[in-house]
Amino acid sequence: MKGLWLENKQLTFGSDLPEPSLEQDDTLIKVSLAGICSTDLEMVKGYYPFTGIPGHEFVGVVESAPGNPIWEGKRVVGTISIWCGQCQPCREGRTGHCGNRRTLGIQNYNGVFAEFTKLPVSNLVEVPESVPDEMAVFTEPLAAALQILEQVQIKPSDRVYVVGAGRLGILIAQVLKLTGCDLTVVVRRPEPAELLRKMGIRSSFGKELGDKSADVVVEVTGSAEGFATSRRLLRSAGTLVLKSTFAGEVSVNLSSLVVDEIHLIGSRCGPFEPALRLMASGQVDLQPLIQANYSLEDGLQAFEEAAKPGRLKVLIDMGLKR
């Protein structure tokens, strides 16, 4: 099959990659659309030692499900953690923290930048007919945005800042807007500020925001500068949500976190079904986030485009759009 292959920080296109071999309860999925995210770009830089097919944001159609034929022909998205079911976190129902987990396109499991991918049937979520592929491909990052509301109670009276207006930051802002909170997104460029304005979301370049003025800050940049800005803006006894992994190390004054009694929360994957419901109800606007659409054969060019400063979502189209 055709696909992108990552090895030794080198991304290549291949036309003779082996199709996935199915294990018990696996499904073979023909990928329709796949999205490039910041994690994929960092993987190419060596963020995590990985050899194989990258990519984890997708929508596709189940081609084969030997143990569960009822799934064949269904249009699906899929959660990205493949768990063992045997370790203590799995036995406690915390499968996302499986001690032996593999992660789609990130850790010991081939991903979706190819004609076909595979996932256990337990990872699949069917896509409603009313949600087109161009929206469904956002399910994984939108679910990640919703995870914040699973972890933090955000009240309409709260002042909330989102630091970072990239692909994920704008999704998070749309989700937080639904709570009715006093929301501001900290931006670095005028383009996302204009996009947010059209969505009815206030933005700021940050300097005019007062120190320790926020009840909740969501850090989405994954940079030392973004963390420092977030820490400056957060009030004592406030909540700091870290939504991006950090490349390298960040110097943190732990004593100030203790003295100010900061609630520090790491936030990762989230619930797919509510994300699909938000799309179906039209409560989020995803179309403006799509900036380019490339064929799989032009996947290397797609990565180059996605890596340019300020780019939002770049999609890879496998030719099965509905």
CATH number for the domain harbouring residue 238:
3.40.50.720
Do 61 and 108 fall within a single domain?
yes
Q: Which pLDDT tens digit goes with each residue over 19-40?
A: 999 988 999 999 999 999 999 9
Rounded to two decimals, what is the model's pTM? 0.94
pLDDT digits (tens, 9 = 90+) for 192-230: 999 999 999 999 998 889 999 999 999 999 888 999 999
Q: 129 and 151: one domain?
A: no
CATH label of the domain that carries residue 78: 3.90.180.10
Q: Do residues 122 and 215 both lie within one domain? A: no
Are residues 134 and 213 both part of a single domain?
A: no
Contact (CB, 8 A) for 125 and 139: yes
Question: Do 301 and 258 fall into the same domain?
Answer: no
Predicted confidence at residue 170, as pLDDT, reads 96
Gap between the Cα atoms of 213 and 121, Å rounded: 46
Q: Does a structural domain hold residue 275?
A: no
Res. 320: pLDDT tops 60: no
Among 227, 192, 229, 238, CA closest to 207:
229
**147 and 109 in one domain?**
no
In a domain, 148, yes or no: yes
Q: How far apart are CA 39 and CA 82, in angstroms?
A: 18
Cα→Cα distances 264→89, 107, 216, Å: 22, 26, 10
Q: Is residue 271 part of a domain?
A: no
Q: How far is CA 29 from CA 94, 134, 224, in A?
A: 26, 17, 39
CB 218 within 8 A of CB 162: yes
In a domain, 279, yes or no: no
Question: Do 173 and 120 lie in a common domain?
Answer: no
Range of the domain at 128: 3-138+286-317
Q: How far is CA 183 from the centre of its chain?
A: 21
| Rounded-to-integer distance, Cα 75 and Cα 125, Å | 9
Measured distance CA(60)–CA(29) in Å, rounded: 6
- Is 230 a member of any domain? yes
The predicted pLDDT at position 244 comes to 84
What crossing angle do the helices spanning 139-151 and 272-281 adopt, rounded to 10°?
Answer: 110
What is the number of structural domains in the chain?
A: 2
Neighbours of 179 (CB within 10 A): 17
Report if residue 77 sits inside a domain: yes
Residues 210 and 115 in one domain: no
pLDDT classification of 179: cutoffs 50, 70, 90: very high
Task: Answer yes or no: do 147 and 131 share one domain.
Answer: no
